[in-house]
């Protein structure tokens, strides 16, 4: 009887437990389905936000393009207005400015030619000072950069020392003048009061001992011809310096140096003059001024540009 009573109870408890577990599984599945649905909804919302952001970015890019085009159009209209204002400034003012710019260009060209051709440093500085004074009277703001370039070029011109060609010619004249003071005869040798045997002193008075390989010109005609050749070489060196021909300058000085030991005996004074000639060959002849002519070039470019004064 107990077994018969327990079997239905156990069966009912098992069925109740199975029903509860089934309900829990169904609830878990429903919860997971709800979560998946919510996640899909959020992903769809994110996609919609991305699409909206992309559309807004495209609209912003289109707006920026339109604004850029409008700014370019405003710049072009401003340039046209400036050109119109310049044209309406009056023919008298434009003609006076054109004449003033012509004078400035002429002064700059004269200053450059004075320095490069005539080595007239002071004349070049005066020409550039007059050009700067005339340029200060130009009221057009477009020439402000040219005024700055002129200030820099004038500063470099003022900092420049003497012309290297003038310095080289002055030192060449000094060396040529010192050649006349070189001794023609070598230093006297020891005499009778300096010791030695009697026959050596007697032979020293009668016989003049000279090296057989000496290149010095002794004959008057040969010496006169050598001095004339040396003067000719110095004149060629001067001509090369006037032309700023560095190669001809060094070649003429090298030939002049080769003639010195053939015309004068070996003395400390001769070695000093030969060292002076070698130092002359190392001197520069060109003016080291890279900015020379930059203002004139900028002015010509500005006047040749569209809208520039002519």
Q: Which is nearest to 179 in space by CA: 248, 280, 283?
A: 280
| Residue 213, pLDDT score | 44
| Residue 212, pLDDT score | 47
Distance of alpha carbon 29 from alpha carbon 79, whole angstroms: 75
Distance of alpha carbon 168 from alpha carbon 174, whole angstroms: 10
Other C-beta atoms lying within 10 Å of the C-beta of residue 62: 10
Q: Would you call 280 exposed, middle or buried from its count of C-beta atoms within 10 A (0-12, 13-18, 19+)?
A: buried
| Residue 197, pLDDT score | 67
Q: Domain locations in the chain?
A: 35-70, 92-162+291-304, 164-182+214-281
| Residue 191, pLDDT score | 46
- The pTM assigned to this predicted structure is 0.47
Distance of alpha carbon 173 from alpha carbon 231, whole angstroms: 11
| Residue 208, pLDDT score | 52
Q: Would you call 256 exposed, middle or buried from its count of C-beta atoms within 10 A (0-12, 13-18, 19+)?
A: buried
Per-residue pLDDT 10s for the chain (310 aa) are 777 778 788 888 888 888 888 888 888 888 888 888 888 989 999 998 999 888 899 998 888 888 888 888 888 888 888 877 766 655 545 667 778 888 888 888 888 888 777 767 778 888 888 888 888 888 777 778 888 888 888 888 777 767 778 888 888 888 888 887 777 765 555 444 444 566 666 655 655 555 444 456 557 778 788 888 888 989 999 998 888 788 888 999 899 888 888 888 888 888 888 888 888 888 887 766 767 778 888 888 877 754 455 4
């Amino acid at each position: 009887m107990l077994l018969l009573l327990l079997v239905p109870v156990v069966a009912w408890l098992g069925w109740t437990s199975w029903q509860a577990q089934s309900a829990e599984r169904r609830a878990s599945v429903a919860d997971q389905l709800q979560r998946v649905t919510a996640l899909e909804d959020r992903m769809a919302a994110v996609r919609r936000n991305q699409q909206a952001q992309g559309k807004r970015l495209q609209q912003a890019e289109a707006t920026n393009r339109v604004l850029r085009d409008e700014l370019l159009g405003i710049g072009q209209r401003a340039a046209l207005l400036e050109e119109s204002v310049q044209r309406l400034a009056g023919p008298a003012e434009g003609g006076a400015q054109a004449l003033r710019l012509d004078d400035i260009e002429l002064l700059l060209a004269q200053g450059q030619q004075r320095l490069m051709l005539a080595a007239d440093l002071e004349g070049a500085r005066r020409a550039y000072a007059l050009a700067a004074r005339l340029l200060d009277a130009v009221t057009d703001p477009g020439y402000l950069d040219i005024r700055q370039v002129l200030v820099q070029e004038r500063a470099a011109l003022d900092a420049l020392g003497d012309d290297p060609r003038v310095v080289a010619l002055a030192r060449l004249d000094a060396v040529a003048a010192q050649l006349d003071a070189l001794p023609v005869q070598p230093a006297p040798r020891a005499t009778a009061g300096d010791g030695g045997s009697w026959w050596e002193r007697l032979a020293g008075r009668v016989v003049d001992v000279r090296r057989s390989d000496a290149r010095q010109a002794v004959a008057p005609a040969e010496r006169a011809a050598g001095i004339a050749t040396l003067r000719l070489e110095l004149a060629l060196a001067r001509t090369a310096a006037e032309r700023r021909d560095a190669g001809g300058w060094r070649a003429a000085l090298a030939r002049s140096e080769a003639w010195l030991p053939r015309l004068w005996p070996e003395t400390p004074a001769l070695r000093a003059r030969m060292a002076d000639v070698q130092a002359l060959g190392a001197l520069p002849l060109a003016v080291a001024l890279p900015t020379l002519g930059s203002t004139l070039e900028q002015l010509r470019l500005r006047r040749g540009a569209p809208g520039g004064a002519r």
